[in-house]
Amino acid sequence: MIVLGIESTAHTFGIGIFDSEKNKILSNVKHMFKPPLGIGMLPREASEHHYKICDKILKEALNEARIKPQDIDLISFAQGPGLGACLRIGASVARFLSLELKKPLVGVNHCIAHLEVAKITTPAKDPIMLYVSGGNTQIIAFDEGKYRVFGETQDIPVGNLFDVFARNAGLPMPGGPVIEKLALKGRKYLSLPYAVKGMDVSFSGILTSATKMLQKEKLNDICFSLQETAFSMLVEVSERAMAHCNKKELVLAGGVAANKRLREMCKIMCKERGAKFFVPEFQYCCDNGAMIAVLGAIEYDAGVETKIKESKIKTKWRTNEVEVKWV
Amino acid sequence: MNILARAAEAIILDKGHYIIKKRIKKGYRIKNLDIKLRKERTNLEYKLITRARRIGVNVPSLMDKNTYEIRMEKIGGSAVKNILNKKNLEFIAKEIGRQLACLHKYDIVHGDLTTSNMIFFNNKVYFIDFGLGYFSQRIEDKATDLYLLKQAVMSKHAKFFNTFFNLIIKEYKKNYDDSENVLKRLETIEKRRRYTI
């Protein structure tokens, strides 16, 4: 079965094509909306970007996979969670393709797609996933018949912490990579609020303190301390979740997974407790269409189908609300 | 040395009639942060358990401590996580609710209320691992405590969730005067999470 997956939950519009019989991703094309310096992402502008670029991405994805539109057997799209304006573009394209090609439609959960694509592209079988991006910070695992959130942020996601701090410090977006670079030159550890609550974390206090420090401390040192504190918290709760669920694998996913220091810390933690650590190839780590196609294929196999009238987007679709019929 | 358990941040050494909780070095975090967290948490945990014991909550009795270690009484039995069933559910829920009310009444926030951190022994429920606990009078912190318990029960005991958690809350209300405010705040916290309507 050839599945076309459409991702448009936030800044990225992506289309991926997955061959479920060969268990192979045929193409994965995406383009990311970048706001001008000093301004955050406006959902309206991001959706305009998606709208303008969607046909180009579709063509490229088909070309790269060397298939014709008629070869597609199933259309899968990210139905949520995400920004309404952005989700609507992906959903519209999906509905159009489904009606035009007369192929079934499946709406899938973005967060779970991250985990499922990791299972296809890495050796992980039953992992805990630390999913960190600009829109999400969750620790997810499959347990007792459902995907469950074992830990999450109680306020802002870690990617958002970096983005907003970068904006406050006059650095370009996305903030993560810039902060990572500056942190390499930082030496002095400045004490920031370390907020771990059970398996949950909270970042708003760090943001306030780090922003206040901008007036008196060196930017390199702040970036260094910001990363060390935030990542230590994330790795600590991941380890806690692994101990709690007795799982021996950790997968790191989401845009912040690009950070080398976070990868290093996860790796050390796993080594110390005799667990395995995996990061999918970066194109499957950040938001992408291929993961949507992969989850669509799995769900359709289990008999899930989304009728057009049920295909309304779900901007606040929690991971643990997804009905799992496929395991 | 006999390692009884290897938790996320500490190892528990079995010394026969007592145990040692030793906070181990974590290679992933920088030295400053590592030492600071281990020291602070060991100190605080010692204080919390002392206070909890004084107000009549079932906790292990303490022997002594040094920088990263606490020596305390060994409690037999097994974790509530492993033994919870239809028969003992009501009794255990009531015990949890009653004692949690007591902790919160005296401003102790446990910080990691999971059923792995409660031990059923001699027909009593013991609270262990105050490693993430702290003293606080804030309604917000107490509500967070309940929120974590709710999440943990929901994810670990999905089958019993409704009955079990409602019984805990019922008993909690009975024993704690300020419980209404805490429960109200719990609702707010749940709404504040990502992706809730």
ipTM: 0.82
| The domain made up of B78-192 is a member of CATH 1.10.510.10 | yes
DSSP for A144-163, please give it: TTEEEEEEEBSSS-HHHHHH
Helix (H, G, I), strand (E, B) or coil at A7: strand
Query: Is residue A110 scored above 90 in pLDDT?
Result: yes
Q: Of the spans A136-145, A179-188, B182-191, which averages the highest pLDDT?
A: A179-188
Same fold, A2-115+287-321 and A125-279: yes
**Which residue, among B144, B155, B159, would best test binding to A if mutated, counting the most A CBs under 10 Å from its CB?**
B155
Residues of chain B with CATH 3.30.200.20: 2-73
- Residue A76 has a pLDDT of 97
Return the structure tokens found at A323: 């009905």
**CATH code, residues B2-73:** 3.30.200.20
Contact residues for B104 (Cβ-Cβ < 8 A; gap 6+) = B142, B145, B176, B178, B179, B182
Query: Is residue B196 scored above 60 in pLDDT?
Result: no
Residues of chain B with CATH 1.10.510.10: 78-192
How many interface pairs between A and B have CB atoms less than 8 angstroms apart?
102
DSSP for A280-309, please give it: --HHHHSS-HHHHHHHHHHHHHTT----GG
Mean of the pLDDT values across residues B61-68? 92
- Residue B191 has a pLDDT of 83
The answer to whether residues B161 and B155 touch, using CB atoms and an 8 Å cutoff, is no
The CB density around residue B97, as the number of other CB atoms within 10 Å, is 24
Query: Is residue A26 scored above 70 in pLDDT?
Result: yes
Residue from B112, B141, B145, B177 carrying the catalytic annotation? B112
Mean of the pLDDT values across residues A61-75? 95
- Residue A327 has a pLDDT of 67
Helix (H, G, I), strand (E, B) or coil at B9: coil
Higher local confidence (pLDDT), A320 or A227 = A227
Residues of chain B above pLDDT 90, percent: 71
Q: Which CATH superfamily is domain A125-279 in?
A: ATPase, nucleotide binding domain (3.30.420.40)
Q: What is the pTM of this model?
A: 0.84
Greatest Cα-to-Cα distance within chain A, rounded to the nearest angstrom: 62
CATH of A2-115+287-321, one of 2.40.30.10, 1.10.10.60, 3.30.420.40, 3.40.640.10: 3.30.420.40
Nearest neighbour of B28 by CB, restricted to A144, A148, A235: A235
Q: Look up B112 and say whether it is catalytic.
A: yes
- Residue B1 has a pLDDT of 63
- Residue B197 has a pLDDT of 45
Task: Note the pLDDT tens digit of each residue in A38-48.
Answer: 777 899 999 99
Nearest neighbour of A144 by CB, restricted to B8, B29, B158: B158
Helices B139-156 and B161-175, axial angle in degrees (round to 10): 150
Residue ranges per structural domain of chain A: 2-115+287-321, 125-279
In whole angstroms, give the CA distance from residue A134 to residue A101.
Answer: 34
The answer to whether residues A108 and A77 touch, using CB atoms and an 8 Å cutoff, is yes
